[in-house]
Amino acid sequence: MTENNNNLQHIAIIMDGNGRWAKRRGLPRAAGHKKGAETVKEITRAAGDLGIKYLTLYAFSTENWQRSKEEVDTLMGLLREYLKSNLDELKENNVKIRFIGERDMLDKDIVDSMDKLEAETAANDALTLCIALSYGSRQEIVGAVRKVAALAKRGDISVNDIDIRMFSDMLYTKDIPDPDLLIRTSGEQRVSNYLLWQLAYTEFYFTDTFWPDFNKKELETIIQNFNSRERRYGKV
Ligand code: IPE
Ligand code: IPE
Ligand code: MG
């Protein structure tokens, strides 16, 4: 592997293409989501093996609530299964899990399982797996603006205290460094309301592979590509 001087700590992924993967095989979309959930486990293990410190996965967007009830139910069913069956493996691999997104939109049993997984993996320190669930970046930013405005209104801070650091701390991703690399599968080249603030200096990589076919080998190839890039941050 090429020398890693780009200090890759955090990979964010937009896991896209489950539906098209299934359609190509003449299967219902649900089959793509099911296979995609297996890929989540494979890529979590791979990221840990490759020494990545943070992996943030886009599992369900605020906009995805607009899909048919049948599809939302399928996705929530798979999520329940994942939450209920994954604790042992996360513990075994020393993975700390964290969820970002709007919890109010999710069913109570799901939120309870999320809380439980977070609590039971809180002391783990190999990989931090951050799952974006019912997540929308504009909603996250507006939420942060509200928090800052409330503090200023109460007089707890002055308007001049507001800076990048303080604002970052109001986001769901508090204490998580910005992604170094964003990968989107399935050939789409857009951000779809994901981590708009956090991606300010992230490197982007788009692959045509549908998420259910994504694997460790391709992840390694992408990491090699990332390591060969020059990150300039506005300097020369
Ligand atoms: C990604 O696959 C999973 C979610 C967005 C929940 P899609 O369901 O978007 O699959 P395509 O884009 O229709 O192929
Ligand atoms: C983005 O994929 C959201 C997730 C992967 C969870 P979508 O398939 O929802 O995005 P658009 O609609 O193609 O932009
Ligand atoms: Mg899609």
**117: in domain:** yes
The predicted model scores a pTM of 0.97
Instruction: Name the residue among 163, 171, 170, 92 with its Cα closest to residue 130.
Output: 171
- Domain range for 189 is 10-136+177-227
Between 3 and 9, the more confident residue is: 9
Find the ligand nearest to 61 CA.
2
Q: Are strands 203-206 and 127-135 parallel, antiparallel or unpaired?
A: unpaired
**207: in domain:** yes
The predicted pLDDT at position 3 comes to 52
Distance CA 136, CA 158 (A): 28
Pocket test residue of 13, 15, 16, 194 for ligand 2, highest count of atoms within 8 A of CB: 16
Distance CA 181, CA 178 (A): 9
**49: in domain:** yes
Q: What is the pLDDT of residues 106-123, one digit of tens each?
A: 999 999 999 999 999 999
Atom from ligand 2 closest to the CA of residue 16:
5
**172: in domain:** no
**200: in domain:** yes
Encoded amino acid at 74, one letter:
T
Residues of the chain with pLDDT > 70, as a percent, come to: 98
Mean pLDDT of the chain: 97
For the domain that residue 181 is a member of, what is the CATH number? 3.40.1180.10
Give how many domains the chain has, as a whole number: 1
Distance CA 21, CA 29 (A): 8
Mean pLDDT computed over 136-163: 98
